[in-house]
Amino acid sequence: LKPDRNFWDEDARELAPEPTVEVHVFTLKRTHPWVRRRVEQLGRHPSAIVIHRLLRSSACTPKDAVRVAARRPVTDALVRELTSHRPTIAMTGVRIALAANPFTPSRVALLLTPACRPQLRTLTRSNVLPEVRALAAQLSGGSFSDAVLHG
């Protein structure tokens, strides 16, 4: 005996929406101009609580997280928020932005510098803390005097 319909497939379709619809809605939420403007406004907010909520929002893109990490001046509360959120600190761009930011506390910047291996040359030539520049030069194989001359 062969059933006319597959009972389990129909139940699954009723319970879960089409995956393509979910993807389109998610993409629209992230790319809608009003949402983008609001996310950019919230990324400049001084409160660490607002940044906490923004980083955990589905509307926040990796580019937004890098923009938050690169803003100046960066407060200790903001650095704590960025470094405590695993998906955010796992992004190479965020680690580089924090290490290259002269307002990042030196102990945090020094801890992040080895994790920026592909872009160490950038850190030796950018306007970063002298300790970070020296460590980046040492890790990239250059000398500190090269980093000072180019920085």
Q: How many CA atoms lie within 13 A of 12 on its CB side?
A: 6
Q: Distances from the Cα of 72 to the Cαs of 16, 27, 141, in angstroms?
A: 44, 30, 29
Over residues 130-140, the pLDDT tens digits come to: 888 888 888 87
pLDDT of residue 52: 92
* 125 contacts 137 by C-beta, under 8 angstroms: no
- pLDDT bucket at 38, cuts 50 / 70 / 90: confident
| pTM recorded for the entire structure | 0.69
CB within 8 A of 83, min separation 6: which ones? 89, 98, 108
